[in-house]
Amino acid sequence: MGICQSSGRDHLNLTDAFARYEAVRHRLPMVQAGVTSQKVENLDFLAEHMDVFLLDAFGVLNIGETAIAGVPERVAALQKAGKRVMVVSNAAGYPHAMLMEKYKRLGYDFAPEDVITSRKATLHALHQTEPGAWGLMATESLGRGDIEPFDMRYLDEDAAAYGEVEAFVLLGSANWTETRQSLLEAALKRAPRPVYVGNPDIVAPREHGFSVEPGLFAHRLADQTGVEPQFFGKPFGNIFDLAFAQLGTVDRERTVMVGDSLHTDILGGQAAGVRTALIAGYGFFAGHDVDVAIEASGIRPDFILQRP
C-alpha cells in the first residue's frame, strides 16, 4: 500500500480531490465557454445522436475491480447497433495485456486496438526519445509488460538510484511513499531532469473511496521543484491523438467523450473538439450534487447522465 492507501477507507474525499484539481487549472487545457448541459438518463439516449463513443473506464465501465451493473450489456448493445466504441482511459499502471484480461473478466468485449490508455500515450512518446536510463514509479508486481524495451529502474528507498537515471516516468502510485516522494523531489532539485507522467489523474474512484494517483505527486513535484512534468492522458491532447489515429476520419460533432470527471474527461473532450457527457451518479461525483461542482469550475458538459 502507498500513501493513504489502505483497504476500506477513503484516500481523499471529494472536497479535497476537487480542490486539488482546481488548484492546478493553470496546467490544464482551457475551458470551453458557452456550453449548455442537457440532463438525460443514460447512454441509450446518446445512441440516437452519436456515432462514436469514447468511454472512460473508472466511474463509467467499472468502479475498482467491479463492473457497474448493466453497463456491459449497454456497451454491447451500442456495439451491436454499429456504434464505434473505444475506451479512452488514464490507466497507466496495468500492462495492456493485463488490462484487456480485466475488461474481459468484467464482461466487456473490446478489441485491443480500441483500448487507448495514457500508458500507450506515454510509451508512444518514449519510443521517440533517445535511449537512456529511466527512474520508474510503478507497481513492480504487475510486471514489465510494454516497458521491456526500455531501461526502466523501479524507484524505492535507495537514494542513490534517483541520481543514476536521466529522467523519470510515473505510471502507478500504489506503492509510492512519502519517503520516495521526498527522494524524488530532492533529486530533481539537485539535477532537474524530464518527468513523464503516465497518469494525470489526481484521484480514481474505488469501491471504498478515492485512491491517490500519479498526477497528485506530479503536481507536487512541479510545485516543489519548478520542474514542469510532461503529462500523457486526459485532459491532454496526446491520448486523443492516438484515439483519432485509430478511428480515422469521424464527425467530431457526433463523437462523445463519456466520463465521471470534469477536470480530465470533460475538459479533455472539449479540448479535443468532441461532445462530452458527465456521469453524475457513479465515480467521482457519486452521492454528490454535480451542479455545484459545474458552477464552481465553469466546466460544463454537453450532457449529464445519471448513470452510464
The pTM (predicted TM-score) of the whole model is: 0.93
Query: Are 303 and 37 a contacting pair, CB within 8 Å?
Result: yes
pLDDT at 7 over 60: no
Model confidence pLDDT, tens digit, residues 179-194: 999 999 999 999 999 9
Output the pLDDT for position 8: 34
Looking at the chain, which runs of residues are DSSP E strands?
38-40, 52-55, 62-63, 66-67, 84-89, 115-117, 133-137, 151-154, 167-170, 195-197, 203-206, 209-212, 230-231, 255-259, 275-279, 303-305
Ordered alpha helix ranges (H), 196-277: 214-225, 237-247, 267-271
pLDDT in tens, 70-125: 999 999 999 999 999 999 999 999 999 999 999 999 999 999 999 999 999 999 99
90-127 residues labelled b (16+ CB within 10 A) or e (exposed)? bbbbbbbeebbebbeebebebeeebbbbbbbbbbeebe
Which domains occur in the chain, in start order?
36-120+248-305 (3.40.50.1000), 124-231 (3.40.50.1000)
6 has a pLDDT exceeding 90 = no
- pLDDT per position as a tens digit, 10-21: 467 888 899 999
pLDDT of 11 reads: 63
**Residue 177 scores a pLDDT above 50:** yes
What integer best gives the mean pLDDT of the chain?
93
The pLDDT value given to residue 9: 35
Of 50-54, 55-59, 141-145, 206-210, the one with minimum mean pLDDT is 206-210
Cα separation, 53 vs 47, whole angstroms: 9
As given in the structure block, the three cell numbers for residue 134 are: 529511466
**Is there a cis peptide before residue 301, judged by omega within 30 degrees of 0?**
no
The answer to whether the beta carbons of residues 249 and 277 sit under 8 Å apart is no
The pairs formed by 131-135 with CB atoms below 8 angstroms and a separation of 24 or more are 132/165, 132/166, 132/167, 133/164, 133/165, 133/166, 134/165, 134/166, 134/167, 134/168, 134/169, 135/161, 135/162, 135/165, 135/167, 135/168, 135/169, 135/184
